[in-house]
């Protein structure tokens, strides 16, 4: 009888250890999945998208660059660029505006002359006005910020559409590269 008591205590300790392992495994698995979701999926999805579709999309005879960490979708029959933040979320979007939308004519001269009205209609006050020049081609851009983030729109002398970026201000550097690609 004396021998069964220590064996039973050992069995109880082993059983308690087995009950704790699934919780520890679950916590570790959750941690690995979160890290995988945040740090592995965006670069893998970016690489895969660029391997399949390339580094630009065409629209009205212009090649629009799709920078690293961005992808293009085609809602309403025209390209829309989205930044990979983490999967299933977007922190910035570049949309194409055409003159057929009826909101605002996107011709360069009209946009430049009526930029204050365009900004007022969008709900963003103009905080920055920028002009990009590449040879004979120019882009005129207005930019503003509010609680929702950045809003910047550019019209081109060599294209019949405008680009509108909205979202995180960190996307501005990539948006500049996209604007320069249309100017080429």
SS (HEC) of 170-182? HHHHHHHHHHHHH
CA distances from 69 to 25, 38, 41, 177 (A): 32, 13, 11, 13
Q: pLDDT value at position 150?
A: 83
How many other CB atoms are there within 10 angstroms of residue 155's CB atom? 26
Whether the predicted pLDDT of 53 surpasses 60? yes
Could you give the CA distance from residue 110 to residue 133 in angstroms, rounded to a whole number?
18
Whether the pLDDT of residue 119 is over 60: the answer is: yes
Cα-flanking dihedrals φ and ψ of residue 145, to 5°? -130, 150
pLDDT in tens, 3-23: 556 677 778 777 776 666 677
Residue that has been written with the tokens 């905080």 in this structure: 127
Length of the chain: 184
The confidence score (pLDDT) of residue 124 equals: 74
How are strands ordered across the β-sheet holding 70-73? Answer: 70-73, 80-84, 90-98, 161-167, 149-156, 137-146, 128-134
d(CA 151, CA 125): 10
Rounded to two decimals, the pTM is 0.71
Q: pLDDT value at position 104?
A: 45
Q: How far apart are CA 44 and CA 63, in angstroms?
A: 24
30 φ/ψ angles, rounded to the nearest 5 degrees? -60, -45
- Per-position DSSP letters for 35-76, written without gaps between them: HIIIIIHHHHHHHHHHHHH-SEEEETTEEEE--TTEEEE-GG
């Amino acid at each position: 009888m004396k021998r069964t008591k220590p064996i039973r205590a050992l069995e109880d300790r082993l059983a308690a250890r087995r009950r704790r392992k699934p919780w520890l495994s679950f916590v570790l698995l959750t941690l690995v999945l979160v890290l995988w979701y945040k740090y592995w999926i965006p670069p893998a999805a970016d690489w895969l998208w660029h391997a399949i579709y390339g580094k630009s999309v065409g629209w009205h005879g212009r090649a629009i660059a799709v920078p690293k960490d961005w992808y293009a979708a085609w809602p309403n029959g025209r390209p829309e660029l989205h930044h990979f933040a983490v999967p299933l979320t977007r922190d910035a979007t570049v949309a194409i505006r055409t003159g057929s939308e009826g909101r605002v004519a996107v011709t360069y001269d009209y946009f430049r002359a009526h930029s204050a009205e365009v900004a007022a209609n969008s709900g963003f006050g103009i905080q920055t006005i920028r002009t990009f020049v590449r040879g004979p081609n120019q882009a005129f851009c207005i930019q503003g910020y509010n609680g929702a983030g950045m809003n910047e729109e550019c019209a081109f002398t060599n294209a019949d559409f405008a680009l509108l970026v909205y979202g995180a201000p960190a996307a501005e550097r990539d948006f500049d590269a996209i604007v320069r690609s249309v100017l080429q």
